[in-house]
Structure 1
């Protein structure tokens, strides 16, 4: 399957870091008194959680992380390679202090030490609609920025003959999954997977509801010592279509701060859906947040709401300085960012290839330091792009990559 991403061309963080980069040392999140994102008073590193919005290495929350020597694991603990990280995947990163961008419109950088990731749902497509599809009876919502990869590149081509691996954010209040990346195949996977919040737990019958699915478990099922209603879990199911499901494994919600050994005073920025709590104390995709001293903007924090949180890690909790509630319109307005050496330049068709993707450009594309009409150099470039409705990529900006 190929990659995907969604990153703003000039994020709020990028702009702030660019302005302060010449006058202040960026030393992690720190937890000091500064109210400017990226300034620090002793931070030791960075912690990011969110969607991969760019490649070259990977870009998450507007920070370009060098993943070349990172330890990569999936949520279930199995080891993996950074070569398998793709645009649209949801990841958590523990890394170095962030270095500010050196120019306006540039991207802050850091070195990733540990990265974890994993899909939410995996299985056969049951049905499709204009706005999404269902997997094992569970509803998946698709945005214009959702990346499709594999045997199809757009939602309209997904059918009930397909199997999917879906990355994104589960809303426990509705049981629906907001997809950021969908990998589509015609080959049945070895196991299926669902995730969500336990409801209607019956410890005598050994059953519970996960969305609209009834999950059974028995003595052979690997599971946490205790299960409870409201608990967020992932379940591994046999790859078949039985009348009722018996899980082979039940996984407690992944805890990224502990698993990635995130240090106190690390700068933190996480993006995702509120999975429990509200107001000042809540949870975002397994990360506990204390927003009692934070500035909360753009709406009210509640379960199922998408938020962007900035703060400092203290005793395993992200103590937030800022929380922004994000609307669907804002999520749909994102751009993607790619860095690397381009190839297959066709100035007649106005296309080129970068990071395995084919891009088009047109009269609206902004070029900086490059004139392909006269000279196809430099070869190492930075591209901002949007995902078209037909699944193709259109470059909105192309420039020599000096970062």
Structure 2
């Protein structure tokens, strides 16, 4: 019977995926079909006396906020046996996972009491790879491939970008991990790093001003010409999110696409799901989309009320993914500024790999950690810092976003 329900749910989701939102009438229709398929209201269906065992599975998405192993949405995922892939399916090592990167994690059932899970697959990918055309230090913004990118207190800059945003140069090619703010029409960066000299640029965003005859469309202020693209998604239409691969040289004010893919990621069913991100489409507080995934929150609790559940709001949603829809059980509205003021946005666990006593810094899990006279010490002092000593660090990003300012350092067994 569970197999019938999954098939029906997927079929209905596929029919409605164009809108990416599940209307109330559509949901009722799904329930009616499922009830009928289960024998409700009609002839009795013999029960499945020997159903196949189904292991609990979880799905988590958000920005990496720490290591030991990988920490996302406050959960520590053991990544020792996980497959790590990029958004093209290319395999990577665990060292390619960076602080602030946007990831999707498939894992075992999460132990909520301990905040631990065992990851089986970790997928990461950025929204933008391209050159900087403008920098606004006062407004904490920059323009990449014609897109406005906002920098905030939780934007991680790779330490190669000395000074963070102040170290970025016009024409420099960057890779930007971000979440799209549909209310403001910009990308809120969670990680920015130098991209070197890539063989192609990348952009994920919403199609506008589609000219099918001229084979062009716009994403933000960028005009894309897809006349010579090797692949073009058949779903190409205004308002549809796409992922575009581009030549590194523009022609006649247009970026030349080599491939235009569907920018919405397919989601398998998961009995547990937790997503943190920005609302990208909105019908009501109980029907919206989170990073393109439809959310049905009619049966959810709202600890912070429903007033803040609006387009562009940052929310954390818990529930289960069924037929391409996140069936929410709880929707929490996040106040990023309040959370930042707590002083423990980031968390690192592991063995120290380098120490600079003069600079009052050390390196842990590839992240430079700075300590001051206000840092709280537990189980050791700064004189006890040494290579291979295992510690736990909690803190905030530095003002330039390039390292972690520790608020607390504890000795670990």
What does residue 182 of structure 1 align with? Answer: 192
Q: 1: distance between equivalents of 2:364 and 2:308?
A: 40
Match of 1:205 among 204, 214, 218: 214
What does residue 389 of structure 2 align with? Answer: 379
What does residue 310 of structure 1 align with? Answer: 318
Deviations 1:129-183 (A, max 9, x none): 1212101221110002201115314111111141100001012344311000001
What does residue 83 of structure 1 align with? Answer: 95
Q: 1:135 to 1:345 in 2, by over 3 A?
A: closer
- Partners of 1:172 and 1:196 within 8 A in 2: no
Answering whether residue 379 of structure 2 is matched by residue 369 of structure 1, we say yes
Answering whether residue 359 of structure 2 is matched by residue 354 of structure 1, we say no
What does residue 26 of structure 1 align with? Answer: none
Q: 2: distance between equivalents of 1:169 and 1:113?
A: 24
What does residue 9 of structure 1 align with? Answer: none
**Deviation at residue 346 of structure 1 after TM alignment:** 5.1
Moved more, 270-279 or 298-307: 298-307
- Partners of 2:65 and 2:72 within 8 A in 1: yes
Q: 1: distance between equivalents of 2:173 and 2:263?
A: 24
Q: 1:340 to 1:162 in 2, by over 3 A?
A: same
Match of 1:129 among 127, 136, 156: 136
**Deviation at residue 240 of structure 1 after TM alignment:** 0.9
Count of residues paired in the alignment: 350
Q: 1:377 to 1:124 in 2, by over 3 A?
A: closer
Provide the secondary structure at the position in 2 that maps to 1:114. Answer: strand
Q: 2: distance between equivalents of 1:115 and 1:152?
A: 26
Deviations 1:222-257 (A, max 9, x none): 121231211111111100132212211112124252
What does residue 55 of structure 1 align with? Answer: 67
Q: 1:73 to 1:347 in 2, by over 3 A?
A: closer
List aligned pairs for 1:283-298, cutoff 5 A.
283-296=289-302, 297=304
Q: 1:178 to 1:150 in 2, by over 3 A?
A: same
Q: 2: distance between equivalents of 1:356 and 1:315?
A: 38
Rg (Cα) greater in structure? 2
What does residue 240 of structure 1 align with? Answer: 249
Q: Structure 2: where are the runs of 5+ without partners? A: 1-53
Provide the secondary structure at the position in 1 that maps to 2:169. Answer: coil
**Deviation at residue 57 of structure 1 after TM alignment:** 1.7
Match of 2:106 among 94, 111, 122: 94
TM-score relative to the length of structure 1: 0.80
**Deviation at residue 272 of structure 1 after TM alignment:** 0.8
**Deviation at residue 205 of structure 1 after TM alignment:** 2.0
**Deviation at residue 326 of structure 1 after TM alignment:** 2.5
**Deviation at residue 360 of structure 1 after TM alignment:** 2.0
What does residue 272 of structure 1 align with? Answer: 277
Q: 1: distance between equivalents of 2:385 and 2:225?
A: 63
Q: 1:372 to 1:224 in 2, by over 3 A?
A: same
Answering whether residue 170 of structure 2 is matched by residue 155 of structure 1, we say no
Provide the secondary structure at the position in 2 that maps to 1:295. Answer: coil
Q: 1: distance between equivalents of 2:243 and 2:183?
A: 16
Q: 1:226 to 1:383 in 2, by over 3 A?
A: same
Provide the secondary structure at the position in 2 that maps to 1:160. Answer: coil
Q: 2: distance between equivalents of 1:374 and 1:91?
A: 34
Answering whether residue 201 of structure 2 is matched by residue 192 of structure 1, we say yes
Q: 1: distance between equivalents of 2:260 and 2:385?
A: 57
**Deviation at residue 352 of structure 1 after TM alignment:** 2.2
**Deviation at residue 287 of structure 1 after TM alignment:** 2.4
TM-score relative to the length of structure 2: 0.78
**Deviation at residue 290 of structure 1 after TM alignment:** 0.8
- Partners of 2:249 and 2:255 within 8 A in 1: no
Deviations 1:289-327 (A, max 9, x none): 111111232543233222111112333322112112233
Provide the secondary structure at the position in 2 that maps to 1:119. Answer: coil
What does residue 30 of structure 2 align with? Answer: none
Q: 1:200 to 1:179 in 2, by over 3 A?
A: same
- Partners of 2:351 and 2:364 within 8 A in 1: yes
What does residue 259 of structure 2 align with? Answer: 249
The answer to which structure has the higher helix fraction is: 2
Provide the secondary structure at the position in 1 that maps to 2:280. Answer: strand
